[in-house]
Amino acid sequence: MSRSLRRLAARALHAVDRGLAQATLGDRFEGGLITFLFHGVFLPGERIDPARIDPYQRTTTADLEVLIEHLLAAGYRFVTPDEVATPGLLAAGDRCAMLTFDDGYANNLRLLPLLSRYRVPVTVFVASGYVERGEAYWWDVVHREGVARGLGAARIEAEKRRLKGLPVTAQRRALIDAYGPDALKARDDLDRPLTVDELRALAQSPWITIGNHTVDHAILTSQPPDEQRRQIAGCQAWLQDVLGEAPMIVSYPNGNYDAAVLQAARDAGLRLGITTVPRRTPLPLRPADALTLGRFVIDDHQDVVERARACRAGLNLRHAALRRRRPGY
């Protein structure tokens, strides 16, 4: 299918889903846990050099404020992972939402004033190795170095796809071989991970839960079983050492999981696991769902309210199509 035909098909699907959202909102269709995925946090009007960081998600504090107000007006309450996992606390028909931020970017500190004002909890999933080493995330390195070398967007995305599936050691070696060891250094506050002191400060907030995002942001289904266990258990141990408490929830990098990954999470003592499968999680939480919670992505290319309505809706064709694919995106 040509690019123009794909665009037309996407527009048609979008129009149908808007109509379905209008028809399938309300008490008859809503209820359960809706979880949202974000990464970086930016300020309204902040000028961002497109060569500096991966442009995938540049959610602003204003976007988050719109989302929070929309969901509160629709009767949703924001919950923590501990509330989700506590038997008998959440019931069928409850409208619950959970906000999550993957990776552990330093710019997530910008959340704190907003969360305090609205009294809304958020879960931040930390890739512990990046915080410990203070390195830029590998996808930002590929984007920055690709732009600097004049590569087009398609070639940069192809390189990200290639590296994403490599074992962790091979991925790191490929980055150093291609760009040199200095390329792994973060350039500024927008692309760097939290420092250890910042992580501790973030964890002190009553509105923040810290979660496990593996040691190296490893795509777990691309790793052998012993590396899967090391990535999950290693992050648990490091966060326990730094924060004095091990997480009770894990976010699988890229959303990818299989039976061995779920077992590694159980063995590490994790009570909840979160994917990128775009689905609502029924309440009260069923044991079978505990390690495979659904999650929706909202990025800066989408109208926040319209996207939230699509996630609330009882039927969405785009989400249904994504659910038929392999977990992850």
Nearest to 225 by CA among 163, 267, 171, 173: 267
pLDDT level of residue 53 (50, 70, 90 thresholds) = confident
Q: How far apart are the first and last CA of the chain?
A: 21
SS3 95: strand
More confident residue, 17 or 175: 175
Mean pLDDT of 6-11: 47
Domains of the chain plus CATH, in order, are 3-135+192-323 (3.20.20.370), 136-185 (no CATH)
Q: Which residues contact 53 (CB under 8 A, 6 or more apart)?
A: 40, 140, 143, 144, 190, 191
| Residue located via tokens 């490091």 | 238
CA dihedral 189, 191, 192, 193 (to 10 degrees): 120
pTM of the model: 0.90
Radius of gyration of the chain (CA): 19
Q: How many Å apart are CA 183 and CA 206, to the nearest integer? A: 36
pLDDT one-digit tens code per residue, 269-279: 999 999 999 99
Percent helix / strand / coil, the chain, rounded to 5: 50, 15, 40
pLDDT one-digit tens code per residue, 140-193: 999 999 999 999 999 999 999 999 989 999 999 999 999 999 999 998 888 999
pLDDT one-digit tens code per residue, 193-213: 999 999 999 999 999 999 999
